[in-house]
Amino acid sequence: MLKLADHWVWDSWTVHDGQHHHLFFLRASRALQDPDRRHLRASVGHARSTDLITWELLPDALVTADAPAWDDQATWTGSVIQAPDGTWRMFYTGVSRAEPLVQRVGVARSDDLITWHRVGDDPLLEADPRWYEKLDRDAWIDEAWRDPWVFADPDGHGWHMLLTARVREGSAEGRGVIGHATSPDLEHWEVQPPLTTPAGFGQLEVPQVAVVDGQPVLVFSCWPDRMDAERRSTWTGGGVWVVPGETLLGPWDIGAATAFDHPSIYAARLVEQTPGSWVLLGFRDTEDGEFIGEIPDPMPVESHGGTLRLVP
């Protein structure tokens, strides 16, 4: 378990360096008292482990930039991947003091996973209005363009980025989609049309794809207060959703998503604990009306009927 006495911990992502699992996570001081205030105070913490249970806390990986900058308010969820040259890239979300409701994606570089340096002064990507909703307070709470998940193309043709995004049309409560961008080299990126169509979710947070027991799956998170009325009416519990696909690029039928059976785990990531052995690692959200803000021990899972279930 990762529980900090002085900070709340929430969204996280991992990478393995051959010896340790490195966990990067959002953190904010409990001195804020109101956990709803944590989002605009978030920085990226860092810990490592050999078993995903006992964690060694390391220096924070990324904090807000000096103003004025596109990420001078908070740094949010992302992913880490090793580049072909052996260095590491962290693709992350940032918001600014000038535009705290507008999300953009940037990148930082590291030689050792410990010390990180931003690449350039400008964001790498932002929502393209050809396909994606820009800030419209009458439709939604923010301009959604966050949680970049980067992975290598399955056929060796560059790299893909999945993002939490929204399209421009349809019911305002249900416009959430998986945004998409591609790159030949991890340096130059081009926004693409979304990989999914709306299916009643206002946002598909912290998206991730993986192949579990031979089955490609898309995992994302959404609570019922961010769904449309029809989707809420069929919700039976759980904030982590699973969708089977034919490949790591889908196609993904979001309407067929099923919720993982856990009352409070959110923003869960699939992590290959040992070769062929998968776990879900997320944070404890609200329980009995109280925000918990800690990451419990991983939950072993397996593919079953197009979704994920706890290993018996």
Rounded to an integer, the average pLDDT of 145-174 is 97
Q: Tell me how far apart the alpha carbons of residues 48 and 113 are, in angstroms, rounded to a whole number.
A: 10
Rounded to an integer, the average pLDDT of 209-213 is 97
Angle (CA) 205-206-211 rounded to 5° is 125
Q: Tell me how far apart the alpha carbons of residues 220 and 243 are, in angstroms, rounded to a whole number.
A: 9
Instruction: Give the confidence band of 276 by pLDDT, cuts at 50, 70, 90.
Output: very high
Residue 227 has a pLDDT of: 97
Cis peptide before 68 (omega within 30 of 0): yes
Instruction: Give the confidence band of 312 by pLDDT, cuts at 50, 70, 90.
Output: confident
Residue 68 has a pLDDT of: 98
Q: Average pLDDT, whole number, for the chain?
A: 97
Domain boundaries, the chain: 7-310
Q: Count the alpha carbons within 13 Å of 86 in the hemisphere toward its beta carbon.
A: 2
Contacts of 25 (CB under 8 A, 6+ apart): 2, 9, 10, 11, 12, 13, 44, 45, 46, 47, 283, 295
Considering Cα of 186, then 192, then 196, then 201, what sign does the dihedral take?
positive
**209 CA to centre of own chain:** 11
99-153, pLDDT tens digit by residue? Answer: 999 999 999 999 999 999 999 999 999 999 999 999 999 999 999 999 999 999 9
Share of the chain above pLDDT 90, in %: 99
Contacts of 269 (CB under 8 A, 6+ apart): 12, 13, 14, 206, 208, 219, 280, 281, 282
Rounded to an integer, the average pLDDT of 252-276 is 95
Instruction: Give the confidence band of 175 by pLDDT, cuts at 50, 70, 90.
Output: very high
Question: Of 61-65, 92-96, 303-307, which range is least confident?
Answer: 303-307
Let me know: does 91 contact 78? Beta carbons within 8 Å.
yes
Rounded to an integer, the average pLDDT of 226-251 is 96
Let me know: does 159 contact 150? Beta carbons within 8 Å.
yes
Q: Which of 106, 233, 254 is nearest to 175 (CA)?
A: 254
Architecture of domain 7-310: 5 Propeller (2.115)
Instruction: Give the confidence band of 308 by pLDDT, cuts at 50, 70, 90.
Output: very high
pLDDT at 261 over 90: no
Instruction: Give the confidence band of 18 by pLDDT, cuts at 50, 70, 90.
Output: very high
Bridge-based pairing of strands 299-304 and 258-259 is unpaired
Q: Which of 132, 243, 244 is nearest to 177 (CA)?
A: 132
pLDDT at 207 over 90: yes
